[in-house]
Chain A
Amino acid sequence: MLKGAEIVLQCVRAEGVDLVFGYPGGAIMPLYDALEGSGVRHVLTRHEQGAVFAAEGYARVTGKVGVAMATSGPGATNLVTGIADAKMDSVPLVCITGQVRTAMIGTDAFQETDVFGVTLSLTKWSRLVRTIDEIPEVVAEGFHWARSGRPGPVLIDIPTDILKAKKEFSGPVKFTPHARPADAKAEGAFSDTIVALLQRATRPVALVGAGAKLSGAVPQLRQLLDDLNIPTFATVHGLGAVPPQSPYYLGMVGMHGTRAANTALHETDLLLVFGARLDDRVTGDPTRFAPHAKIVHFEIDPAQLDRVRACELPVIGNLADTIPAFHAELRRASLPDWSGWRAVACGPERAELDPRGLAQPTIRFLDELFSRLPQDNVIIADVGQHQMWAAQRYRSSSPRGFVTSGGLGAMGFALPAAVGVQLAKPETCVLCVSGDGGFQMNIQELATVHRLGLPIKMVIVDNKYLGMVRQWQQLFYARNYAETDLSDNPDFVEIAKAYKIHGWRLNEAAMAEYPVSAETGDLLENFLRSPEPELLVFDCAPEANVYPMVPAGAALSEMVYEDE
């Protein structure tokens, strides 16, 4: 006879999970009681939001399902932001929550929340387990939906009496899904149509999004793009999918994208979209997005088609299937000579301007830091100005090498996500870049970092403001810096010390010389090469802004390049 809790853990283990993140509490105590000897390692964070972001970090770099556990009531609701984040960025995530005992559900019992109802619009699938008999099927089905199609979050809510109940257990089960209309795949003829469109196009471009890495089709996509040899750019989640040194690659596109990428996207007459959902941060004003273009949209989730702009041809399916089919047809076709278009779109006239103005020292700092990273590295960025600077300066060819909360833009993401990333990749250099605002939102996870001895390299870009909001207040609200002043920040180095983590300081003066001085170089090397967790606080100009910028509501052609 096994308890429900033991059955849960056996079923989770059968799904290939050996690491979960969580925080215990009353309703979920039976599950924690069963951990020892289960083969599932539990990582204790210091907030449930830390647990779910850590599970996300783990999932984002491995492609495996991340698992987070929390108790009922406030424990469960503290998972909500992470669940929303996983939904927006297509992260395979299973959240297991304790619930009050079955007889008390619906009575507003102590630590009872209807987390099933709260997360209905945020989860791909969810279940409140009603009997111990349901557990194997529910776990199997939950993991299936988390990882299949467009990956996403699921929730399994288990009353505490069911975790304690006992039954004879014959073993985990496999889930066999029903065929679904959304599983319909693109017909082979789509390739002919795309080739025909390409043959009529004079200014074709390609946009690469998260789907490239989620599908595992990056090698095939790279071969296709090499053969197409058309101006290509990436969303923030597509960074690393295309090697930056590719002669046709123009960098990141969108609100803080490169001049070349945004201009080419505005001018194109044929846009091939590979696994991007044409988010408003990418399109700018959707009514003026790619005004001359027909759009061919390769996408696994039909719900993402035609959201902001109708496409000429949807190609529904996994890129791992659709790209090879398209590439095979492309190889048989003769295509126009686009060398003139390439020369303009990828030419020196549209190259990025050297960093200038107040942001120059910070950008130099990031360039210096990134250039010194070992080849095997992952950069995690929190949300804000530092995130955009880091994305703009990212030059790696690792598809899962840049991790950030893109769709939801959840501050406080980076530090706990870095915990998950480092545990997933113990030998990898993990660089966690945060702002002073976001770092404080999950600062308690320094305890997790210290306890586990994770050698994460944490950087705080400290401008003593809620920087991105301040930038918008400067540009669009006549410098009314309402509630964005963080000038009374604590001493982060002293806080790190209290968590028994060594801290370093650097400021903009160190970036006045370029290349940097030997002293600064040694500091950065020691910081990065240390086998321990380290924190580096970089003090930077309070009013530095991120450029280029496409103001909200503007077209991609209306970029602003510097302060007026």
Chain B
Amino acid sequence: MQVFHIRYRNAQGTLMRILNAVSRRGLDLTSVHAEYAGQDHAVTLLLQVTPKQAGQLYREWYAIVDVTEVRSSPVTREHADAAWAPHPPASAGVPEQSARAALA
């Protein structure tokens, strides 16, 4: 497993292009976390990749117009735990009335 940190300008489709570079290789997106990072955005991906795939991903991400930086780091326990967190129930966090309205 490897963790990739990608900074990007949050223009239309940039995050999707970043994720697409992974999915087009048939790789699973084990964990994805995107958030503000100063004036840019940042996405952290946890991926199971070979060194060759990592190199290809680096180069493809850098080729995306609005990507500004790509780094990788070792997997920490925090990443590993997050990867195995149970999927929340479908209605978690949704007010009960809204859920009823959706089912009406």
- Residues of A in contact with B (beta carbons under 8 Å apart): 116-117, 120-121, 124-128, 145, 150, 178, 180-182, 301-307
Interface centre among A127, A181, A301, A304 (most CB of B within 10 A): A181
Residues of the A chain whose Cβ atoms lie less than 8 Å from the Cβ of B65: 124-125, 145, 180
Q: Are A303 and B12 in contact (CB under 8 A)?
A: no
Find the B residue at minimum CB distance from A305: B59
- Residues of B in contact with A (beta carbons under 8 Å apart): 9, 12-13, 16-17, 20, 24, 52, 55-56, 59-60, 62-63, 65, 67-70
Minimum Cβ distance to chain B for residue A119 (Å): 10
Minimum Cβ distance to chain A for residue B71 (Å): 11
Q: Are A307 and B56 in contact (CB under 8 A)?
A: yes
User: How many Å lie between the Cα of A181 and that of B16 in the bound state?
Assistant: 19
Minimum Cβ distance to chain B for residue A549 (Å): 28
Q: Are B63 and A120 in contact (CB under 8 A)?
A: no
Q: Are A181 and B60 in contact (CB under 8 A)?
A: no
Q: Are A128 and B12 in contact (CB under 8 A)?
A: yes
Q: Are A178 and B9 in contact (CB under 8 A)?
A: yes
Residues of the A chain whose Cβ atoms lie less than 8 Å from the Cβ of B12: 116, 126-128
Q: Are A120 and B59 in contact (CB under 8 A)?
A: no
Number of interchain pairs (Cβ within 8 Å): 47
Find the B residue at minimum CB distance from A181: B62
**A-B contacts besides A116-B13, A181-B67, 4 pairs, CB < 8 Å:** A127-B12, A145-B65, A181-B69, A302-B59
Q: Are A306 and B16 in contact (CB under 8 A)?
A: no
Residues of the A chain whose Cβ atoms lie less than 8 Å from the Cβ of B55: 306
User: How many Å lie between the Cα of A130 and that of B18 in the bound state?
Assistant: 22
Minimum Cβ distance to chain A for residue B67 (Å): 8
* 3 A-B pairs with the lowest CB-CB distances in the bound complex, closest first: A303-B63, A303-B59, A182-B62
Minimum Cβ distance to chain B for residue A161 (Å): 18
Minimum Cβ distance to chain A for residue B10 (Å): 13
Residues of the A chain whose Cβ atoms lie less than 8 Å from the Cβ of B59: 302-306
Find the B residue at minimum CB distance from A130: B12
User: How many Å lie between the Cα of A150 and that of B12 in the bound state?
Assistant: 21
User: How many Å lie between the Cα of A127 and that of B70 in the bound state?
Assistant: 23
Question: Could you name 26 residue pairs across A and B whose Cβ atoms are closer than 8 Å?
Answer: A116-B13, A120-B13, A120-B16, A120-B17, A121-B20, A121-B24, A125-B65, A126-B12, A126-B13, A127-B12, A128-B12, A150-B63, A178-B68, A180-B62, A180-B67, A181-B62, A181-B67, A181-B68, A181-B69, A181-B70, A182-B62, A182-B63, A302-B63, A304-B59, A306-B55, A306-B56
User: How many Å lie between the Cα of A306 and that of B68 in the bound state?
Assistant: 21
